Amino acid sequence: MSGLLKSWVESANSAETQFPLNNLPYGVFSMYDEEPRCGVAIGDMILDVAYLEEEGVISIDDEPVLDLPFWNEVMETGPENWSALRARLTEILAEGGDDVLSSDSEMRARALLPMKDATLHLPLVVSEYTDFYAGMQHAKNMGAILRGSPDLPANWLHIPIGYNGRASSVVVSGTEIHRPLGQTKAPDADIPSFGPTKRLDIELEMGAIVGTTTALGQPVTVDQADAMIFGYVLLNDWSARDIQGWEYQPLGPFQGKAFGTTISPWIVTAEALEAFRKPTPPREKELLPYLTENKPGLYDISLQVDMQPEGAAKPTTICQTNYARMYYSAAQQLCHHAVCGCAMNAGDLLGSGTISGSNRDEYGSLMELSWAGKEPISLDTGETRTFIEDGDTLTLRGHARGDGFTIGFGECTGKILPAINFPPKT
């Protein structure tokens, strides 16, 4: 694996940064009251690529595609242009590369902006959102907790199971989430009741962003699907377990997962992750040929979840695991999704499914960590938790570690606010 690519942006060479030249993730940012536009993270700075496109330093398409508050237009120019853009960015930011920026102090001051002063927005228009269930340990744990047996559903080893989620509920890191309201039924109650969820949870996931459109009726192979993936984000599929438990048979999750899904502000491109490819684990049953992979489809990305109660001086890490634990890759999921002829859009977001490792401290949800509330977890503050309480902040982090550099996604964080008073008092 190649080492750190050196940049003339000093902070991009520091051992601490998540954004070395090897990364170059894509986000949408605004400074003060300016319009949100496309930006690229480099060290502790954001490269204003909309400005550079206007100046003719970067050119992707006949029309400008970077002065927009989303990356979908870039996605739609196709994988060759994705590569060309990344190559151009590398060239102008590399030590000893094209000095168009490094030698022009005026342009440099306009183009490189301190990340700490920027507001980060949702980096794409999420056209559709699908969530999978492709983590084996998670599926076994949920079976054991909810159905009394860790046996996988009969289809699980043959199909990446998924459900269609709500694109409208996807928000960028930092967005506060109100505890959702809904209908639940206690096991010993005769009738359901309405109110705030008592079992608010997270799900630690990666999101794959589809960058290429397919026509209705057009199946894709796993290899084609792999090439269609523009990049990856961290994803927290907030879940209300009591609402979910009452509503989800037989059609699957509905309101229990439709009130907020948080993603990281930075899309790490598939190209940046290329050096970190990892194979899916050995098959427990042979897959049908259309789902078999010709190359490693996962990535070595270490993941963690931190929980910080209101007023606590610092967070407690409650889970550490790795994306390479998944049973199905995003390419397999996308192939399976499109194989019936389902049209895919640039900006389609695919949740990996909850990522749990085999040990207790590697479980990617509180449902598993507290075993449905029966075994509370301890925080460094001395408090315990079963599910999330009002004022708690949950943060997902992910890192791919190379030889002398680290690639990150920024944080994927959200604070839980009390439920909204409803119905409103008139």
403-406 long-range contacts, CB within 8 A, separation 24+: 403/1, 403/2, 403/3, 403/4, 404/3, 404/4, 404/15, 405/3, 405/4, 405/5, 405/20, 405/22, 406/17, 406/18, 406/20
**Residue in this structure with the two tokens 């491109």, named with its chain if needed:** 269
Entry field: residues in the chain: 426
Q: Which residues pair with 319 in a beta bridge?
A: 305
- Which member of 253, 357, 408, 410 binds ligand LGMQ2O6W (CB under 6 A)? 253
Does residue 203 bind Ca ion (CB under 5 A)? Answer: yes
Q: E strands along 177-227, which residues?
A: 177-178, 181-184, 193-196, 200-201, 204-210
Query: Least distance in Å: CB of 114 to Ca ion?
Result: 35
- Which member of 39, 315, 353, 414 binds ligand LGMQ2O6W (CB under 6 A)? 353
Q: β-strand 37-42 against 26-31: which pairing, if any?
A: antiparallel
Q: Which residue is nearest to Ca ion (CB)?
A: 237
Q: Please give the residues from 283 up to 312 whose contact with ligand LGMQ2O6W meets the rule CB under 6 A.
A: none
Q: Which residues pair with 240 in a beta bridge?
A: 200
Phi, psi of 259, deg, nearest 5: -105, 0
Q: Please give the residues from 122 up to 141 whose contact with Ca ion meets the rule CB under 5 A.
A: 131
DSSP 90-156: HHHHBTTS-TTTTT-HHHHHHHEEEGGGEEEE-SS---EEEEE---HHHHHHHHHHHHS--PPPTTT
Tokens of 92: 């102008």
The entry of ligand LGMQ2O6W, Mg ion, Ca ion, none that residue 142 binds, CB within 5 to 8 Å by partner kind: ligand LGMQ2O6W
Instruction: Compute the distance between CA of residue 305 and CA of residue 321 in angstroms, rounded to an integer.
Output: 9
The entry of Ca ion, Mg ion, ligand LGMQ2O6W, none that residue 395 binds, CB within 5 to 8 Å by partner kind: none
The entry of Mg ion, ligand LGMQ2O6W, Ca ion, none that residue 165 binds, CB within 5 to 8 Å by partner kind: Mg ion
Instruction: Compute the distance between CA of residue 328 and CA of residue 283 in angstroms, rounded to an integer.
Output: 10
The entry of Mg ion, Ca ion, ligand LGMQ2O6W, none that residue 166 binds, CB within 5 to 8 Å by partner kind: Mg ion
Does residue 368 bind Ca ion (CB under 5 A)? Answer: no
Query: Least distance in Å: CB of 98 to Mg ion?
Result: 42
Contacts with ligand LGMQ2O6W, 190-209, as mask; x by CB under 6 A: -------------x-x----
Q: Which is nearer to ligand LGMQ2O6W, 51 or 327 (CB)?
A: 327
Cis amide leading into 250 (omega within 30):
yes
Instruction: Compute the distance between CA of residue 224 and CA of residue 211 in angstroms, rounded to an integer.
Output: 12
Instruction: Compute the distance between CA of residue 94 and CA of residue 8 in angstroms, rounded to an integer.
Output: 6
Nearest Cα neighbor of 29 from 123, 93, 112, 108 is 123
**Residue in this structure with the two tokens 């792999």, named with its chain if needed:** 226
Stretch that binds ligand LGMQ2O6W, among 25-33, 82-90, 95-103, 131-139 (CB under 6 A): 131-139
Residues engaged in binding Mg ion (CB under 5 A):
165-166, 169, 261
The entry of ligand LGMQ2O6W, Mg ion, Ca ion, none that residue 77 binds, CB within 5 to 8 Å by partner kind: none
Does residue 131 bind ligand LGMQ2O6W (CB under 6 A)? Answer: yes
Q: Which is nearer to ligand LGMQ2O6W, 50 or 208 (CB)?
A: 208
Query: Least distance in Å: CB of 165 to ligand LGMQ2O6W?
Result: 9
Mark whether 121 is an active-site residue.
Answer: no
- Which member of 113, 142, 346, 388 binds ligand LGMQ2O6W (CB under 6 A)? 142
Does residue 354 bind ligand LGMQ2O6W (CB under 6 A)? Answer: yes
Q: Which is nearer to Mg ion, 39 or 165 (CB)?
A: 165
Instruction: Compute the distance between CA of residue 231 and CA of residue 263 in angstroms, rounded to an integer.
Output: 13
Query: Least distance in Å: CB of 113 to ligand LGMQ2O6W?
Result: 36
Instruction: Compute the distance between CA of residue 36 and CA of residue 46 in angstroms, rounded to an integer.
Output: 13
Instruction: Compute the distance between CA of residue 83 and CA of residue 352 in angstroms, rounded to an integer.
Output: 24
Indicate which residue of 121, 138, 336, 337 is catalytic: 138
The entry of Ca ion, ligand LGMQ2O6W, Mg ion, none that residue 261 binds, CB within 5 to 8 Å by partner kind: Mg ion
Query: Least distance in Å: CB of 342 to Mg ion?
Result: 18
Query: Least distance in Å: CB of 138 to ligand LGMQ2O6W?
Result: 5
Q: Is 250 exposed, middle or buried (0-12, 13-18, 19+ CB in 10 A)?
A: exposed
Instruction: Please report, as ranges, the residues that interact with ligand LGMQ2O6W according to CB under 6 A.
Output: 131, 133, 135, 138, 142, 146, 203, 205, 237, 239, 253, 353-354
Instruction: Please report, as ranges, the residues that interact with Ca ion according to CB under 5 A.
Output: 131, 203, 237
Catalytic sites, residue numbers: 138
